[in-house]
Amino acid sequence: MFSTLTHHGAKETIEGLALGAADYVTKPTRYDSPIDALEAVRAELVPRIKAIVASARAASAALQATRSTRNGSDPPAAPVAAQTVTRGAMVEAVVVGSSTGGPNALAEVISGLPAGLRVPVLVAQHMPPVYTTYLAQRLDGLSALTVREAIDGERAHAGTVYIAPGDHHLSLLASAAGATIVLTQTPPVNHCRPAVDVLFAAATAWGKNTLAVVLTGMGRDGRDGCAALRALGAQVLVQDEATSVVWGMPGAVCEAGLADEVLPIDKIAAAIVRLTTAGSGFRRSSSFSGSGPGTGPRTGTGPGPGTGA
C-alpha cells in the first residue's frame, strides 16, 4: 500500500494490514522537489517489494520441497531446529521487536496473551507517528491485556503492553521504584526510530530476567540488542522463516546463534506464557542498578485502557 501520512491514511493502512496486506510506504511530505520526493519513494519502496517477493519465492520453494517429500523424492535440507530453552531465569519483562509484517504478527501474539500476565510487554514496531496510535487501538481491541502507546515518564506496569510511539525511541530508566519509560528522539538506529536495538539495550536493566522476541521484519534491527541480552543470560525467541513476511530481523538473530527458540507465529504467545508463568512481576534484583526495582503490580493494575498518547 502507498498511503498518506494522515489520520485517515493511517487508519485505512492499519485496516488494510489487518486484511492481509504485506506492507506499506507513506507518501513523502517534506520534499520541495518532485524529483527528490520520487527518489525517496524509490529508495523505500523498491527494497520492500524485493524483500516481499523473495520471501514469497522462498515460501513457494519450501512448499514444493514439502510436496516432493510427500511424493517420495529426496527430502529437502533440514531447517534450523528450534532449540530448547535451558537458561530458565525468572522472566520479569518481555520486549518485542517487529517491522514488515509486524502488525499482523503482533496481533497474533498479543491476542494470545492472558489477562493475568504478570510482566509488562514493551514493543518497538517500525512505524511513523499516528500509525502507532491506530495500531495500539487495534491491538487493544484484540487483547485481554491493556495495549496503548507508551507515555514518557510513566511506570511500566505488569499486565500492560506498551507500543513505542512513531518517531520516538522507547528506553527505560531503572530505579528502586521500578522501571520508568523514557521516550527520546535521539538519532535513528539502523535507520529506524523507534529502533528495536534501543529498546533491547534498555531492557538489559532486567538482565537475565528479560525475554526478547523478534518477529518478522526487514534488516537486522534487534540483532545487536539480542546479543547484549544473551550475554547477560536473557532468553531470546524468534519467529520462523515460514511464517514471516520477511525473515530479515529474526533471520539475523538466528544466524548469529542468538535464538533460544525458533517458532512459528502461532506458537509464540504460548511460549511467552510458558516462560513467564513463574514470573512475579517486578522484584528486587541485582539486574538493576542500585537496589533494583521495587515490587510492582502483579496484575494489570497500571493505567486504564487508552487509545494512544
Say what the pLDDT of residue 135 is: 97
Say what the pLDDT of residue 308 is: 36
Q: Residue type at 292?
A: G
Question: Rounded mean pLDDT of 94-119?
Answer: 96
Domains and CATH numbers, the chain: 93-276 (3.40.50.180)
Per DSSP bridges, beta strands 235-239 and 121-125 are: unpaired
How far lies 282's CA from each of 119, 151, 290, in Å? 7, 19, 15
Question: Rounded mean pLDDT of 208-224?
Answer: 97
Say what the pLDDT of residue 85 is: 43
Residue 86 predicted with pLDDT over 60: no
pLDDT in tens, 22-35: 888 887 777 788 88
Say what the pLDDT of residue 68 is: 66
Say what the pLDDT of residue 67 is: 66
Instruction: State percent of the chain over pLDDT 90.
Output: 58
User: Residue-wise over 131-157: b if at least 16 C-beta within 10 A, else e?
Assistant: bbbbbbbbbbeebebbbbbbeeebbbb
How high does pLDDT run on average in the chain? 83
Residues taking part in catalysis: 99, 126, 221
Strand locations in the chain (E): 2-3, 25-26, 93-98, 121-125, 146-149, 160-163, 169-175, 178-184, 210-214, 235-239, 261-263
Which residues are CB-neighbours of 76 under 8 A, at least 6 positions away? 62, 65, 66, 68, 69
Q: What is the DSSP letter of 192?
A: B
